[in-house]
Amino acid sequence: MPVRVRFAPSPTGPFSLGNARTAIFAWLFAKKEGGKFLIRIEDTDKERSKKEYEEGILKTLEWLGIVSDEPIVRQSERSAIYETYLKKLLEEKKAYYCFCTSEELEAERQAQLSQGFPPRYSGKCKSLSSDVVAEKIKKGEGVIRFRMSETTISFQDAVHGKASFDASLLGDIIIAKGLREPLYNYAVVVDDYEMKVSHVIRGDDHFSNTPKQIAIQDALGFPHVHYAHLPLILGPDHKKLSKRYLDASMYEYKTAGYLASAVFNFLALLGWHPEKDREVLTVKEILEEFSLKRVQKSGGIFNPEKLEWLNSQHIKNTSAETLIGLLEPFIPPAWATNKELLRNVVEIEKERVKHLSDFQDIAGFFFELSEYKKELLIWNDTPVSAILDNLGFALSVIREIPPHEFKKETIERYLMTVTEKRGRGEVLWPLRVALSGKEASPGPAEIMEALGKEESVKRIEFALQKIAS
């Protein structure tokens, strides 16, 4: 049977961390097995489903490099299909209309709980006459319940192994509010069959839905699909992930300056690990090693610090040319006009950048020297006169470097003659501050190579004037 894996989000809120992790695992499995990855939008909840949420889902998946191999399926466009199979279940007495009020159901539930029984529907509407049913349907009343068989339902989960459920404890579940208003457990069974889905990969929170769906598959004569239930994502305290992260939209990570490759890497490691327990991995490397056999049963721990670290590693490992394109939303357009300078700056600063959004603040001095206090030029307790003398001497040496040799290695060689005589800190500290106007920045030779000789000399002269004043 060809491998066909679906990812089926509901557009009822921001696209979350857990949904993104599920999509990644489903996509990885499909691609590793040479199969198809499918996207289905489960938008039957008309009140809560929003077009902007659907757009957010698809936009985020595209950012992560995940696209459907076939046209996207939307449940809201499949009412006629659901109606056909519901009629089949009703005709074969495998489903029936129920007209119990919410008050009646709650009273029944409380009575069962008080006697120590698990709550389930009693089945009181199973025996209603066809005339009563027809009359109530005309009035717009009723829901459709599935007639659950009293048997044991077992399945083999790719992560958790064999699982068994006593179907008699489930009760007759509601599968639709009407012929064209299917509910989750019924609609997904029909959709998976119609889409020829072979594998369902989803979170552990759906584990209890699986026996219900298998029962419906059997009632409709559908083949079973293979299941893999992923461990829940836990917070740093090993407890349920906080609302702060659960409600956050995944796309916010892009706008915060995270690389898609880093987020993909991080989410893939939430519940799965490669053979050699490496942490910094490309999508290609993850795909080469991915297997459901290496998915753990225990929850994956969400660690924001680790995500930030992975992002810094991916930035460091990304070419300057690629980073320039990714940095476009985070920098002033004017910076891109000097392509050579921007490329040099990216090459220098990518070692220090944790998020793309940090770049403008970290690297801004290359493009425009901000105002700084002259006290910043002073190294420890070095007298001002000595700083002035050292910086002046360094400038004279820098002026001797031929423009065509104005590279980091050459600059460092020339500066060595100064530092050997006058001290590293006494020379390099004021020189670096003069070039950057910052307390923390790359070394002076790196900065000068990026700026070029003319701009470097200009900034050092400005610093000398600042000290002298």
Q: What confidence score (pLDDT) does residue 323 get?
A: 97
The span from the CA of 58 to the CA of 53, in Å, is 9
The per-residue pLDDT for 339 is 92
Pairing of strands 73-74, 161-166: unpaired
Residue 105, class by beta-carbon neighbours within 10 Å (0-12 exposed, 13-18 middle, 19+ buried)? middle
Task: Choose which CATH entry (3.30.365.10, 1.10.10.350, 3.40.50.1220, 1.10.10.10) describes domain 369-468.
Answer: 1.10.10.350
Task: Report how far residue 389's alpha carbon sits from residue 370's, in angstroms, rounded to the nearest whole number.
Answer: 24
The pLDDT of residue 237: 83
Superfamily for domain range 243-317: Glutamyl-trna Synthetase; Domain 2 (1.10.1160.10)
Residues in the chain with pLDDT values less than 50? none
Contacts of 98 (CB under 8 A, 6+ apart): 121, 125, 142, 143, 144, 145, 172, 174
Q: What is the DSSP letter of 41?
A: E
- For helices 51-63 and 17-32, angle between their N-to-C axes, nearest 10 degrees: 50
Buried b (16+ CB within 10 A) or exposed e, 111-132: ebeeeeeeebbbeebeeeeeee
Strands (E), 50-194: 73-74, 95-98, 143-146, 152-157, 161-166, 174-178, 181-182
pLDDT digits over 289-337, tens only?
999 999 999 888 899 999 999 999 999 999 999 999 999 999 999 999 9
Domain residue ranges in the chain? 243-317, 318-362, 369-468
pTM of the model: 0.91
d(CA 339, CA 118): 69
243-317 shares its CATH topology with 369-468:
no
